[in-house]
Structure 1
Amino acid sequence: MTKLAVVELKLLTREPGAMFSLLIPLFILVIFGSSIEPGDTVLLPMALAIAVGLVGLYMLPTTMATYRERGILRRLSTTPVRPASMLVVQLVLQFVLAMVACGLLLTVAGTVLGAQLPSRGLLIAVTFLLGTAGMFAIGLLIAALAPNGRAANGVGVLLYFPMAFLAGLIQPTDQMPVILAHVGKYTPLGAFRQSLQDVWAGGAPDPLLLVVMAAYALVISIAAARFFRWE
């Protein structure tokens, strides 16, 4: 599995989508961050949620569906490296990509923009893990149902924008109709963004939102496992 991980890491670094996932959230942070107060607790959580959403809904499903379309997973089934190993490696690498994207955002925000960084590391870690698990679960479900990589890419993009809107990543929730803001708060991306924002503001995430994210991750992962095809 180590050799597989090394090969997949090299392929990931050459993937334009990986650079897209790193630079788009950073671009948004820098452009809008230059005009906000250093104590702002909204923009950085939004940028972090955008980064994880791009990896989970764009990179992960497109890669897995493309591998199945090209018969890579089927060919692996005839070697000592089982198809499940590819799935594990991809999940780990995509998680690392999400962490690198978020680490870059935190570094730039803290050093260049003077943004407020929370000190409650455990709460951040729990929120990040649950939010990422939910987004990755959706990505795996897309990969399971999409007939090919292009379809997975298209479905991921089509899902991302309405989810991002409802989550308050495109328009602040206080400028949205009350009903949309309330519904969006309980979507996977909305619960993630709100929980991050609560921690950034010095509080703790709403336990209900943590349960919501965990439920999304569990239920959608089960559905993805049920429908996933190796060939």
Structure 2
Amino acid sequence: MNALAKLTAVETKLLLREPGSLVSVLIPLFILVVFGSSIDATDTTLLPMSLAIAVGLVGLYLLPTTMASYRERGILRRLSTTPIRPGSLLAVQLVLQTALVLIACGLLMGVASGVLGVRLPGGLLPTLGVFLLGTAAMFAIGLLIAALAPNGRAANGIGVLLYFPMAFLAGLIQPVDQMAATVARIGEYTPLGAFRSALHQAWSGQAPDVLPLVLLAVYTLAVSALAARLFRWE
């Protein structure tokens, strides 16, 4: 087994032991089961919302906390003296965190369709495209948090402070149609709001509006570039 494979195996074990991984899976699943049992099976809102919640938890909480903790503990600095460079650890983490997102969302879709009878999206490719774009935007913000936070605890706090206001504005806590028009409009321009909106449209079989897709692409590119510029390996 080469060094990169060993690193991947070790990081996989650590991720599975991380309580935040379980939280990122169970909270969206809890929301889906509790609210899904009381709504019509033809509803096209709850499952996309649950998927967005899962992606947001991993991207804004788990990813930045992990990377900032590694820098705080000097792991990234020590890796710079080995054949495995710090960038390799970052790449492995992104792959594993993406896999966690896919597992969480796969579980949500399985429970929704198999237990609650919720219909799955008709247009699979558009939905998948929106999902991947939204995930990229959330991960970009997570990496920016990791770049700015001095330690893992700070990254955790920043992620939580960002997540809940964004989740509220995106309509993941209170339905958009029950929000003030101005607040709902502001929410459409947030990363999580654009993600929820585009995912809901694709899930419903509609062509997603151009605006949320453009916003997600801009957030992904601009925030990723800023995170790369500010990120410190030690």
- The interval holding the TM-score normalised by the smaller chain is over 0.9
Task: Among all aligned residue pairs of Structure 1 and Structure 2, give the percentage whose two residues are the same amino acid.
Answer: 70
1:102 is matched with which residue: 90, 100, 105?
A: 105
User: Aligned AA for 2:49?
Assistant: M
- Alpha-carbon contact 1:61-1:143 (below 8 Å) kept: yes
User: Aligned AA for 1:170?
Assistant: I
**Which residue number in structure 1 is paired with residue 131 of structure 2?**
128
Long gaps (5+) in structure 1: none
**Which residue number in structure 1 is paired with residue 9 of structure 2?**
6
**1:63-212 → structure 2 map (5 Å cutoff):** 63-212=66-215
Distance 1:67 1:171 in 2: 35
List, as ranges, runs of 4+ consecutive aligned residues in structure 1 with deviation greater than 6 Å.
Answer: none
CA RMSD of aligned residues (A): 0.6
Long gaps (5+) in structure 2: none
2:45 equivalent to 1:27: no
Instruction: Give the deviation of 1:119 after TM superposition.
Output: 2.3
Distance 1:98 1:204 in 2: 24
**Which residue number in structure 2 is paired with residue 40 of structure 1?**
43
**Which residue number in structure 2 is paired with residue 217 of structure 1?**
220
Query: Which one is further off, 5-14 or 204-213?
Result: 204-213
Instruction: Give the deviation of 1:102 after TM superposition.
Output: 0.5
Aligned residues: 231
- Scaled by the length of structure 1, what TM-score is found? 0.99
User: Aligned AA for 2:134?
Assistant: G
- Scaled by the length of structure 2, what TM-score is found? 0.98
Q: Deviations over 1:109-160 (max 9, x none)?
A: 0000000111211101110111000000000000000000000000000000
Distance 2:86 2:180 in 1: 46
User: Aligned AA for 2:26?
Assistant: L
